[in-house]
Amino acid sequence: MGLILEFEGKELFRKYKLNLSKSILVTSAEEAKEASSKLGLPVVVKAQVLSGGRGKRGLIKLAKTAEEVIQHSIDILSMQSDGRQVTHLLIEEGADIAEEYFISMVTDSYTLETLVLFSIEGGVDIENLAEERPEMIDKIRIPFNGDHQPFIFMSTLAKRGLTGNKKIQIARIMSTMVTMMQKEDITLCEINPLVVTKNEEVIVLDARIIVDANATFRHPERAEYLSEELRNSENEKDAKAQDLAYVDLGGEIGMLSVGAGLGMATADLIAVFGGSPRNFLDVGGGAGADKVEHALRIMLKDAGLKSILINAFGGITRLDEVATGILQARDKFDKIKSGEIPLVCRLMGTNYVEGIKILEDAGIKAYKDMEPAIEEAVNAAKGN
């Protein structure tokens, strides 16, 4: 999932000329104080983290004095979110809020329509509102490439009592959001709250945007986003550098597959046998011994690992090569060598007979069928 941070989302909104408060990204309390003197008090100190509901978690605080800016910044920078320390704050001009609205748009990946949700009861927990008073949320569907001029949204806004300049401005924002979603490969775009200030200014106060990760090639700058950095664990970054696909899953069995489809099937079968995969690691077709060794090195850095299952189906990948990589890894990595982390292999396909022989001669259990290998890896993870 490609959720991006608030300040990254706001940069996109700025590109499309939506009205935002001035803000400065900082990483320390001193920088926060400096930023607040540039912006003028009061300011809002906002943690740049990937999960929402920051207000409720004390990750957003209003500061009316320079002392408060420093104190709130120190407090928030000492907090954690998503299992890691908060490192970045957005210091933003404080808005004098009169009303809070909610706009959310998602792309329906099947019909390619944009589903637009709007409510005059923004700011609050929208999931609760959807459950308790769904009639307070308006829904509009825009066909892909369909007309989404501002006037399309006017009647909905009018029905909710919005008039005049306010209605026109909000309709424009909605129209721009649809354009932006299509041009920027965005699958979810949410503003909660969109506020109207006491002097009737409409301001985008928050940004929650999910970009389509498969479209990064069209937006190469996104690979450098701070959100990308926060999203990837150390292991995931390491794997990427070695051109391996790696995802943390949180179970107990380290799973290495040759072929992503096989990896998915293996994860399902692990569950059938009563276990759970610790990670998803795919070395891809044509992998040589060194790549297999790198994969095992990355996997072994994970402290929660209980056993390792290698499931390899060799099409273009030669399984004697895979077996050689496994041996290289065993000889280098103590946790495998000492038997602390049991290792079970299954090889089938190109040169599998040679591969199994290489492993068995070295004292490593290797199967040609999938089920017994998976069953053994599940049992080994449980200490049996």
Interface with ligand GDP (CB under 6 A): 44, 52-55, 60, 62, 92, 94-95, 97, 100, 123, 192-193, 205-206
> DSSP letters along 268-303, please?
HHHHHTT--BSEEEE--TT--HHHHHHHHHHHHT-T
Which two tokens mark 263? 């990896």
Using CB under 5 A as the binding rule, whether residue 206 contacts Mn ion is answered as: yes
CB neighbour list of residue 23: distance below 8 Å, 6 or more residues apart: 7, 10, 39, 90, 91, 92, 93
Indicate which of ligand GDP, Mn ion, none lies near residue 274 (CB less than 5 to 8 Å, by partner kind): none
Count the residues of the shown chain that bind Mn ion, applying the rule CB under 5 A: 2
Q: What tokens appear for 85 in the block?
A: 């320390």
Q: How far is the CB of 38 from Mn ion (least distance, A)?
A: 24
Per-residue b or e along 326-345, where b marks 16 or more CB atoms closer than 10 Å to that residue's CB: bbbbbeebebbeeeebbbbb
Residue 320 near Mn ion by CB under 5 A:
no
Cβ closest to ligand GDP, residue 13 vs residue 246: 13
In terms of CB distance, is 205 or 244 closer to ligand GDP?
Answer: 205
Q: Which is nearer to ligand GDP, 41 or 247 (CB)?
A: 41
92 binds Mn ion (CB under 5 A): no
Residue 168, classed as helix, strand or coil, is helix
139 CA to centre of own chain:
26
Q: Which does 79 bind (CB under 5 to 8 A by kind): Mn ion, ligand GDP, none?
A: none
CB of 53 to ligand GDP, least distance (A): 5
Interatomic CA distance for residues 40 and 96, integer angstroms: 14
Q: Is 224 helix (H, G, I), strand (E, B) or coil?
A: helix
Tokens of residue 292, six digits: 């297999």
Cβ contacts of residue 124 below 8 Å, gap of 6+? 100
Shortest Cβ 78–ligand GDP spacing (Å): 18
Q: Which is nearer to ligand GDP, 60 or 356 (CB)?
A: 60
Nearer to ligand GDP, 95 or 171 (CB): 95
Residue 60 contacts which entry, ligand GDP, Mn ion, none (Cβ below 5-8 A, type-dependent):
ligand GDP
Q: Looking at beta carbons only, is 100 or 252 nearer to Mn ion?
A: 100
User: Which x/- pattern, by CB under 5 A, does the window 159-198 give for Mn ion?
Assistant: ---------------------------------x------
- Closest approach, Cβ 12 to Mn ion, in A, equals 16
How many CB atoms neighbour CB 78 within 10 A? Answer: 9
Residue nearest to Mn ion (CB): 206
End-to-end CA distance of the chain: 37
Least separation, in Å, of the C-beta of 206 and Mn ion? 4
Cα 281 to Cα 299: distance, rounded to the nearest angstrom: 8
Task: Give min distance, CB of 140 to ligand GDP, in A.
Answer: 22
Measured from the CB atom, the residue of 36 and 311 that comes closer to ligand GDP is: 36
CB nearer Mn ion, residue 24 or residue 207: 207
**Considering the complex, what minimum distance in angstroms separates the CB of residue 203 from ligand GDP?**
8
Q: Which of the choices Mn ion, ligand GDP, none does residue 4 contact, using the CB cut-off of 5 to 8 A by kind?
A: none
Distances (CA, A) of 40 to 8, 64, 215: 22, 10, 39
Q: What share of the chain is helix, strand, coil (3-state, %, to 5)?
A: 40, 25, 30
CB of 20 or CB of 271, closer to ligand GDP: 20
Gyration radius (Cα) of the chain, Å: 26
**206, 124 in Cβ contact below 8 A?**
no
CA atoms within a 13 Å half-sphere pointing along the CA-CB vector of 342:
19
Minimal distance in Å, beta carbon 280 to Mn ion? 31
Closest separation in Å from C-beta 18 to ligand GDP: 15
Binding site for Mn ion (CB under 5 A): 192, 206
